[in-house]
């Protein structure tokens, strides 16, 4: 990565995810690459293709790059490889916990078996939790219930 590209990458890393403000776009791993050759090309991978935040995120990327003085900006969408919760690193997972959302399991390559694993409540750490619904307040989340602290909580669903 050139110095110029690193500078853009760094700025993009300051934009927070509209649906998960605890994480930035680079921590969410939705920015795939930044290329500068005359024009700036940012490759972006949506978490879910129907995610309603996508248009806003792309607009924010454009505004951010334009503020650095670039005129020609292309934002490309890529599904190769598809965005996966496996891409989130430990630091990002801890930030999710602090924010009150349980992180996804480490390995979501097989979704059905990922769903078999115990889930820890982000507030009391108990594993006495049950999946209430695989659909939550956003496409990327599911709803759990903690029997220890008797609270509902959300988890980033393995994908």
Partner 1 sequence: MKPNTPLQTLLLSLADDELILGHRDSEWTGHAPILEEDIAFSNIAQDEMGHALVWYSLVETDTGRTPDQEAFEREWDSFTCCRFVSYPKGDFAYTIMRQFLFDQAETVRLESFLESSHPGLKEAAGKIIREETYHLMHSQGLVHRLGDATPESRKRMQQATHMAFPQSLGIFEPLEGEAELVSGGVFAGNRSLQAEWLRRIIPVLHSVGLSVPADPGGVRDSCIPDYGGRIRDHNEHLKELVDNLQSVYRSVPGGTW
Phi and psi (nearest 5°) for 51?
-60, 120
Report the Cα 91 to chain-centroid distance in Å: 13
Does 122 bind partner 1 (CB under 8 A)? Our answer is: no
- 29's contact among partner 1, Zn ion, none, with CB below 5 to 8 A by partner kind, is none
Could you give the CA distance from residue 93 to residue 85 in angstroms, rounded to a whole number? 10
The correct pick among 14, 111, 113, 125 for binding partner 1 (CB under 8 A) is 111
Could you give the CA distance from residue 72 to residue 66 in angstroms, rounded to a whole number? 8
Q: State the binding string over 67-106 for partner 1 (x if CB under 8 A, else -).
A: ------------xxxxxx----------------------
Could you give the CA distance from residue 31 to residue 38 in angstroms, rounded to a whole number? 20
Does 38 bind partner 1 (CB under 8 A)? Our answer is: no
Does 149 bind partner 1 (CB under 8 A)? Our answer is: no
């Amino acid at each position: 990565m050139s110095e110029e590209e690193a500078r853009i990458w760094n700025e993009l890393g300051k934009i927070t995810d509209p649906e998960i403000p605890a994480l930035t776009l680079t921590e969410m791993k939705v920015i795939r690459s930044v290329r500068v050759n005359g024009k700036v090309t940012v490759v972006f991978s949506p978490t879910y293709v129907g995610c309603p935040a996508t248009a806003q995120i792309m607009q924010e990327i454009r505004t951010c790059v334009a503020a650095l003085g670039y005129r020609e900006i292309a934002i490309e969408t890529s599904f190769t490889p598809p965005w996966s919760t496996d891409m989130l690193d430990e630091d990002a997972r801890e930030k999710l916990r602090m924010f009150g959302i349980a992180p996804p399991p480490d390995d979501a390559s097989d979704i059905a078996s990922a769903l078999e694993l115990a889930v820890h409540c982000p507030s009391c750490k108990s594993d006495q939790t049950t999946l209430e619904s695989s659909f939550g307040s956003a496409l990327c989340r599911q709803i759990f219930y903690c029997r220890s602290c008797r609270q509902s909580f959300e988890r980033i669903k393995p994908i």
